Amino acid sequence: MNIHLLNTLVRRNIVALGTEIEVTYLAPGLDGYCRNLKQDIFSITEFKIENESITQIKCTRITDGAKLITTSENIIKIDGMLPKELAAAFDIKEDGSKKIVKLDEFGNPVKRGRKPKYLTGTKNYDRNNRSNALTDNEAKKSSEGKRRGNTKIEETTPRRKLSSRAISKHQRNVEVSAS
């Protein structure tokens, strides 16, 4: 794992004390020499920081409480995730720097996904050519019409017999909605 990425994750409090990390380390064999490369899960207990950079990580093994002092190069996973994936989830590059987010012409971050049809005005929206997009007033009018249910009312025969007064009122409503 990159030391700059670890420093960024600790600074943002993504990796803190008590975080589980998967580490490779040299374990002693039967003869007493450290020749066996092992991999196990540890919990961070302390960071040793020099010149605003993490030099050592003190941790204890989850299974039996054995203590280990390691460096960032030996870390394989953080809370079960690869460091690259964890950094990508928090918009951090693999080298520890911040990702640059694409901005539109108004300075807002570009969102992924479909554009709403009421903003585009057409079914085939060309992202590079924004001349086919509706203006704000046109978009409001089209969305208001959809919300109100501005559909044509077909004249149907009433279920019960209405008085002449009610029939003329019904005809007036049909004429108003048709225009």
What percent of the chain stands above pLDDT 70?
A: 62
Distance CA 152, CA 52 (A): 70
What does the pLDDT read at residue 139? 57
25, 42 contact by CB (below 8 A): no
47, 54 contact by CB (below 8 A): yes
User: What tokens does 81 get?
Assistant: 């995730």
The DSSP symbol for 121 reads S
66, 40 contact by CB (below 8 A): no
Q: Say how many C-beta atoms besides its own lie within 10 A of residue 5's C-beta.
A: 23
Alpha helices in the chain (DSSP H): 3-11, 83-89, 117-120, 136-148, 164-178
Q: What is the pTM of this model?
A: 0.55
User: What tokens does 106 get?
Assistant: 């108004």
Mean pLDDT for all residues in the chain: 77
Mean pLDDT, residues 32-57 taken together: 90
pLDDT band for position 99 (cuts 50, 70, 90): confident
What domains does the chain contain, in order, with CATH numbers? 3-89 (2.30.30)
What does the pLDDT read at residue 175? 60
Instruction: Return the C-alpha torsion angle 70, 76, 78, 84, nearest 10.
Output: 130
Q: Has residue 147 got a pLDDT over 70?
A: no
Q: Has residue 45 got a pLDDT over 80?
A: yes
Q: Has residue 179 got a pLDDT over 60?
A: no
Which of 15-19, 24-28, 40-44 shows the lowest per-residue confidence on average (mean pLDDT)?
Answer: 24-28
130 compared with 16, residue with greater pLDDT: 16
